[in-house]
Amino acid sequence: MSDMAVTREVFDQVMVPNYSPADVIPVRGQGARVWDQQNREYIDFAGGIAVNCLGHCHPALVGALKEQGEKLWHLSNVMTNEPALRLAKKLVDATFADKVYFCNSGAEANEAALKLARRYAIEHFGAEKTQIIAFNQGFHGRTFFTVTVGGQAAYSDGFGPKPADIDHVNYNDLDALKAIMSDRTCAVVMEPLQGEGGIISPDPAFAKAVRELCDQHNALLVYDEVQTGVGRTGELYAYMGLDVVPDILTSAKALGGGFPIGAMLTTDKIAASLKVGTHGSTYGGNPLACAVAEAAFDTVNTAAVLQGVKERESWYREGLEAINAKYHCFEQVRGKGLLLGCVLNEQYQGRARDFLLASMEEQLMVLVAGANVVRFAPSLVITKEEVVEGLARFERAVARVVNG
Ligand SMILES: *Cc1c(COP(=O)(O)O)cnc(C)c1O
């Protein structure tokens, strides 16, 4: 194996074909820069899909990984550990929550949230209260329960019978939500800014009204902050900028800054429904993951970094508007903080992937969010020089697409 040539072709030979990765294979990263096997350098505006909140190999995270890596990696949930307790205490102190459950990914955090919501509703209001309402184009992960709650049938079809009693309405459509909500509603699940669905912000009045409807019907409000959480929108969690407090919040992606970890946060009263033995995860609360996440959390949860996200948003918006003034391909630039989307206009419908491929040619990593949105989710501490250089590369990529 050691003298085998590790090339993109090997992927097709030995990997399940559920992904179609790019041709380049990155081998190292530093800050918002990444280098591939040929030592070609890229600027990273993708951030591992909103995961690398502090860029690549941030010294605080490398330090925490090394320190904990020489102490204790794993126990099991038969015992608790210091990093998990420290991180949970910090999450509780910084948010509405009283209790934390740790797991390893966003899907697992949402799976726990959904199972908890169901148990809580059944326990307090009876066996009929099981309806879960979510939003079209929403994304909540790929376990069978979470992918069914997600609002894209294409992701959940083809696997046989689905978990039942899950309904969908359009995001920001209050009348549609009202029409299907009742005292049978167990929970409403929403992203406080739809990420995968196309970088769609909630109407502030809609967000508030969803909260009120949940209160009227004794339904839990679950905020999936897997993509928006840990500083991404310029607030520690996006709910803080909406003036709405959820009952359950899920976090992953940026929580570990690149180390797999997820968390579900809730109140004392609701948490009580996950009694001993009702749910669990072998790796959840693993000391190594929690130590890295604690370092990420300490670094991000400062006025300087959170304020810096808002400042960086303006660098991006100004740069992107200037590009658009020249090339006229975006209908609008939307999103919040460092979760931004360039929405393609009429003329470029369905071509987001072309912009992504042209960007790779120009040594820039970007994301898409559906077929019509080019998405950026860079490091929250990306430098001005990296933004300016990356936007210059993006302008050349846009020119490539526009000029055919
Ligand atoms: C990425 C994402 C998930 C799934 O997280 P995984 O770690 O891939 O399981 C869930 N919800 C939202 C909003 C996401 O962006």
Query: Nearest to residue 375, comparing CAs of 18, 49, 12?
Result: 49
Determine whether the shortest distance from the Cβ of 252 to ligand 1 is under 6 A: yes
Q: How much distance in Å is there from the Cα of 251 to the middle of ligand 1?
A: 9
**Among 102, 145, 247, 253, the one annotated catalytic:** 253
Q: Give dist(CA 299, CA 312) in Å, integer.
A: 17
Question: Per this entry, what is the length of the chain?
Answer: 404
Query: Nearest to residue 122, comparing CAs of 276, 277, 278?
Result: 278
Determine whether the shortest distance from the Cβ of 107 to ligand 1 is under 6 A: yes
Asked if residue 182 lies in contact with residue 217, where contact means CB atoms within 8 angstroms, the answer is yes
Among protein residues, the one whose CA lies closest to atom 5 of ligand 1:
106
Q: Is 253 a catalytic residue?
A: yes
Q: How much distance in Å is there from the Cα of 171 to the middle of ligand 1?
A: 18
Domain limits of the chain?
8-57+303-402, 72-300
**Among 139, 259, 330, 394, the one annotated catalytic:** 139
Task: Provide the CB-side half-sphere exposure for 92 (13 A, CA).
Answer: 15
Q: How much distance in Å is there from the Cα of 384 to the middle of ligand 1?
A: 28
The token duo for 102 is: 């740790």
Give yes or no for residue 138 having a pLDDT over 80.
yes
The pLDDT, as a whole number, for residue 2 is 58
Q: Which are the contacts of 259, defined by CB distance < 8 A and separation ≥ 6? A: 61, 65, 288, 289, 292, 293
The token duo for 256 is: 């570990």
Q: Is 129 a catalytic residue?
A: no
Average pLDDT for the chain? 97
The band of 298, judged by pLDDT with boundaries at 50, 70 and 90, is very high
Ligand 1 test: best mutation among 139, 194, 237, 250, most atoms within 8 Å of CB? 139
CATH of 8-57+303-402 given 3.40.47.10, 3.90.1150.10, 3.90.660.10, 3.40.50.720: 3.90.1150.10
Its CATH architecture, for the domain 72-300, is 3-Layer(aba) Sandwich (3.40)
Q: Is 298 a catalytic residue?
A: no
Give yes or no for residue 3 having a pLDDT over 80.
no
Q: Give dist(CA 301, CA 254) in Å, integer.
A: 12
The atom of ligand 1 lying closest to the CA of 146 is: 10
The atom of ligand 1 lying closest to the CA of 260 is: 7
Query: Nearest to residue 385, comparing CAs of 55, 63, 61, 60?
Result: 55
The pLDDT, as a whole number, for residue 188 is 98
Q: Which residue has the tokens 């294979």?
A: 25
**Among 45, 224, 297, 355, the one annotated catalytic:** 224
pLDDT per position as a tens digit, 62-88: 999 999 999 999 999 999 999 999 999
| 7, 49, 385, 403 from 11: Cα distances, Å | 8, 20, 34, 33
pLDDT per position as a tens digit, 224-276: 999 999 999 999 999 999 999 999 999 999 999 999 999 999 999 999 999 99
Q: Under DSSP, is residue 42 helix (H, G, I), strand (E, B) or coil?
A: strand
Asked if residue 394 lies in contact with residue 386, where contact means CB atoms within 8 angstroms, the answer is no
Query: Nearest to residue 300, comparing CAs of 236, 240, 239?
Result: 236
Topology alike, domains 8-57+303-402 and 72-300? no
